Structure 1
Amino acid sequence: MSIDTGAVARANEILRTEAGSGVHGLAIAGVSDHDEAGVFVEPAEHVVGLAGPVDHHTWRDRPEGARSEAGDRECTLYSLRKFLRLAVAGNPNLLLVMCAPESSVYRTTALGDELRALAPAFLSRDAARRAVGYLDGQVAMLLGRGRQKDMPKRPELVAAHGYDTKFASHALRLGLQALELTEHARLTLPMPEADRERVLRVKSGGVPDLDAVLAEVTAVRDRAEALLEAGRTPLPEAPDTERISAWSVDAHRRHWDAMPAA
């Protein structure tokens, strides 16, 4: 049976926020695209019935595989179950949905508000380590050591600056956010002004030497890792999965109870 994933996702949406460079405060007018991410609750027939799961839905202005251009919009909605699994595992992109400022929240419901209030339950040393590991992968790809399909593909930036400045700025941003998470058990969005300026300087080509960028990324990354290894962080060791799971069960039940009878 064919499933209209878009219809399921939109009809059951509980939260949607700005994502990507915009939520970090790193968008550049006339250059950046517009990303959104959110959460929906799968109807009961897709969870305990035979209709088949719907774990996410993405729509974008350009065809799949085509690079986004300035002003293009892309949005991905995740089922609550998938969202929680990824967020509990420390996925840095999904943690941002719960930490986005009110000005970046485009849609929310009572359940969406409750999910955002749960954000501290997801922040843990595991999440910080995941962010550091993700950063290491970004650096490897920046240096040409990653999988070919994941390599930076912005030859115009390489031609203009000698390296992919956008990809390099992602690495620095990840490092700074991993350090903030480790030091203060929080993620500030948009990024604190001093950090935001550092990342924008790289993104806009203001640092002509890739080695200088990598040195800064390495210093931030090593600081976060040292704090984690020494246990000098206010973060708990692991997310509060018991609390998150209990809320998820209750949230699904309440959403289903509120749905009109078929």
Structure 2
Amino acid sequence: MSFWHTNRILLVRVGSRAYGLETPQSDEDLRGVCVPPLDYLLGLETFEQHHEEEGDEETVALAKFVRLALEGAPNVVEQLFVDPADVLHTTRWGDRLRAEGPGFLSRRLGERLLGFARANWQRLEKHRRWRADQPPPEVTPADFGAQPGPQGNPRFPDEEARAAYRAAHKRWREFADWRSRRNPRRLALEERFGFDTKSAMHACRLLSQCEELVREGALVVRRPDAAWLRSIRAGEVSYEELRAWSEERLERLPSELAASELPARATVEGHALVAELQADFHGVELTRP
């Protein structure tokens, strides 16, 4: 058995099933944390993460996990706050890591929750325009006044025309990539309801989590508003209502977050925590300078 299994200190269920928002078709997403072998920690070998070939299971090294949590990555910090029923394997080192969870709550985490929610809505707006038969047209350099150069490269009349072509081509390329790679399930939601209701559901979840972080100083994973969020995915809430609900929070929450009592950054001493857990796992006594 590989060391990312034998040295695993924590394994949790994440994603829709951890939020309480799963459907019968939902995958079971698992995330683990492991302590690499001692020779990896002392020698030239490195290990950061391993993704199982079958299923959605990923294990990361403790040091990488803590580094990402310190940066306020929501999908990482969430692993420390999942419902006890979603903790599938733990050890005394995993328990110690989870006990540090409150120290990873910060304004930075809130900013990233807001950022992901805003990005979700920007994609929803763009895709909705494309669904409404307003896709960007495919363009050529000639559309912007370019003439063939001596080696076949287009020669634009000026830099403004070149920049305009590049911007228009980028918009078309984004549309073409989206159309060719569209997830069939998401496409079915868009065709049925006019927008990706699953993406809208998660955008609203992110905003609710940010609001709870600001008001309660907590990161709530298993959603108390699961019934409402499920109704969004089922297409029972209009796009206009969801957009208005979200815009109000996207406008209000940044100032509330800035004025909150949350620390600007995580307060966990990451280096000391990783050193302590890895030394204890391997039965090594730390020597302090």
TM-score range, shorter chain: 0.7 to 0.9
Q: Which runs of 5+ in 2 are unaligned?
A: 128-170, 285-289
Task: Note the 1:95-110 alignment, pairs <5 A.
Answer: 95-110=77-92
Deviation at 1:25, TM superposition (A): 1.0
List 4+ stretches of structure 1 deviating above 4 A.
145-152
Aligned partners of 1:183 and 1:234 also within 8 Å? no
Query: Is residue 257 from structure 1 mapped to residue 283 from structure 2 by the alignment?
Result: yes
Aligned partners of 1:165 and 1:202 also within 8 Å? yes
- TM-score, normalising length from structure 2? 0.75
Query: Is residue 191 from structure 1 mapped to residue 215 from structure 2 by the alignment?
Result: no
Aligned partners of 1:152 and 1:164 also within 8 Å? no
Q: Partner letter of residue 130 of structure 1?
A: R
Structure 2 Cα separation of the partners of residues 55 and 227 of structure 1: 36
**Counterpart position of 1:202:** 232
Q: Partner letter of residue 124 of structure 1?
A: S
Aligned partners of 2:197 and 2:235 also within 8 Å? yes
Q: Which runs of 5+ in 1 are unaligned?
A: 1-5, 62-72
Query: Is residue 224 from structure 1 mapped to residue 224 from structure 2 by the alignment?
Result: no
Aligned partners of 2:72 and 2:108 also within 8 Å? yes
Structure 2 Cα separation of the partners of residues 100 and 202 of structure 1: 23
Structure 1 Cα separation of the partners of residues 218 and 182 of structure 2: 29
Deviation at 1:198, TM superposition (A): 2.1
**Counterpart position of 1:181:** 213
**Counterpart position of 1:11:** 6
Aligned partners of 1:178 and 1:221 also within 8 Å? no
Structure 2 Cα separation of the partners of residues 125 and 17 of structure 1: 25
Task: Note the 1:1-262 alignment, pairs <5 A.
Answer: 7-28=2-23, 30-51=24-45, 53-59=46-52, 61=54, 73-144=55-126, 153=183, 154-192=186-224, 195-207=225-237, 209-229=238-258, 231=259, 233-242=260-269, 244-257=270-283
Q: Partner letter of residue 198 of structure 2?
A: K
Deviation at 1:122, TM superposition (A): 0.3
Structure 2 Cα separation of the partners of residues 236 and 182 of structure 1: 11
* Greater length-normalized contact order (CA 8 Å, ≥ 6 residues apart): 2
Aligned partners of 1:184 and 1:234 also within 8 Å? no
Paired residues in the alignment total 234
When Rg is computed on C-alpha atoms for both structures, the one with the higher figure is 2
Deviation at 1:47, TM superposition (A): 2.5
Aligned partners of 1:14 and 1:112 also within 8 Å? yes
**Counterpart position of 2:151:** none
Please give the per-residue CA displacement for 1:218-244, whole angstroms capped at 9, x wherever unaligned: 223333212023x1x2312221142x3
- TM-score, normalising length from structure 1? 0.82
Q: Partner letter of residue 255 of structure 1?
A: F
Structure 2 Cα separation of the partners of residues 47 and 136 of structure 1: 39
* Further displaced range: 31-40 or 219-228: 219-228
Structure 1 pair 246/95, CA: closer, same or farther in 2 (3 Å)?
same
**Counterpart position of 1:70:** none
Q: Partner letter of residue 42 of structure 2?
A: V
RMSD of aligned residue pairs (Cα, Å): 2.1
